[in-house]
Amino acid sequence: MFCKRMSNSKERRKRLLHDDHHLADCEFVVGDSPNEEPKRFLCHKMILATASEVFERMFYSEFKVNGPVHITEVDPKSFERFLRYVYIYEIETEQSLSLEELGELFYLADKYMMQDLTDELVKHLRSKHNWTIGDVWPMFDLACLHEILPLLLLCYEEITKYVEKLLSVNSFYELNVNHLKRVVILVSQQPHISPKLMLQKLEEYGRRNKLHENRESEQFLKLVEAACLLDLNKLSKRDFDSGPAKSYLFNKIQTK
């Protein structure tokens, strides 16, 4: 005699994820591309609420949302991957996700306060992502932007291992200027990287981004703030005179 096999919870949730009309009671409209229509996702409030306090407040508080929820910050494919994790706790890893795709997933994890998704993405990056030397600074930017501590720690590991190479790649000069102070603090802990070298990299950053053309701009001032964190007392008088004393970053500051 054969017993009928009962479906488990994951299988039921997977069916709900793919057959989104069954029991669906909320709708998301995702996308803001001028060339494509936004994609509609029919979802289930209770499943979303069990995954995120943000969703719980959105659907079950006195300030609950009525009507479709519009999301324009991410691509529909990224939201689809996000729902896959919400419903069945899986991240789509059949192929390596691009930095942009990972960034959108980190954004959604932050937006909906899902620390477990953040941790899973970091685990994916640590074990499966095919890192290149050019990936580190964009990932560092992303970690700083959303204050993703596990991702910051992972980036710190990569920066510490390859700091000399990383200070010469093009993506260094594409960093968000707001994050340069953290870079200086981290790099200053590497004894083989001199303050003079770091100052030269900051000067080059300013030139490539033409920050010196508007010395009153907020971006230029942030660059100067980062340079001021360098421990210039470590320099010999000769290095000081040929470096900081002549730097366009300090020419309005009295130097000893």
10 pLDDT above the threshold of 80? no
As a whole number of angstroms, the distance between CA 206 and CA 173 comes to 8
Task: Inform me whether the pLDDT recorded for 22 exceeds 70.
Answer: yes
Is residue 3 over pLDDT 60? no
Q: Give me the pLDDT at residue 33, please.
A: 80
What is the per-residue pLDDT for 64? 81
Range 55-84 average pLDDT: 91
Residue with tokens 């932007």: 145
pLDDT band at 253 (very low <50, low <70, confident <90, very high): very low
Phi–psi pair at 69, nearest 5 degrees: -95, 120
User: What CA–CA distance (Å, rounded) separates 174 from 87?
Assistant: 36
- C-alpha 4/C-alpha 252 separation (Å) is 81
- Per-residue pLDDT, averaged over 59-74, amounts to 89
DSSP letter for 42, please.
Answer: E
Amino acid at 21: H
pLDDT at 109 over 70: yes
The pLDDT tens digits for 120-146 are 888 888 876 677 888 899 989 989 988
Mean pLDDT of 184-202: 91
Element spanning 26, H or E = strand 26-30
Domain ranges of the chain: 8-96, 131-256
Query: Average model confidence (pLDDT) for the chain?
Result: 86
Tokens standing for residue 102: 């990972």
Look at 112-116, 150-154, 180-184, 239-243 and tell me which has the smallest mean pLDDT: 239-243
pLDDT band at 5 (very low <50, low <70, confident <90, very high): low
Give me the percent of the chain exceeding a pLDDT of 90.
50
For residue 256, the 8-state DSSP code is: -
Say which CATH superfamily domain 8-96 falls into. Potassium Channel Kv1.1; Chain A (3.30.710.10)
Model confidence pLDDT, tens digit, residues 222-234: 999 999 999 888 8
Separation between Cα atoms, residue 85 and residue 75, nearest integer Å: 16
For residue 256, the model assigns a pLDDT of 39
Q: Where does the pLDDT of residue 254 fall: very low under 50, low under 70, confident under 90, or very high at 90 and above?
A: very low
Give CA torsion, residues 164, 168, 174, 177, to 10 deg: 50
Distances (CA, A) of 229 to 29, 181, 214, 217, 223: 45, 7, 21, 19, 10
Do the beta carbons of residue 196 and residue 235 sit within 8 Å?
yes
Query: Positive or negative, the Cα torsion across 92, 101, 161, 189?
Result: negative
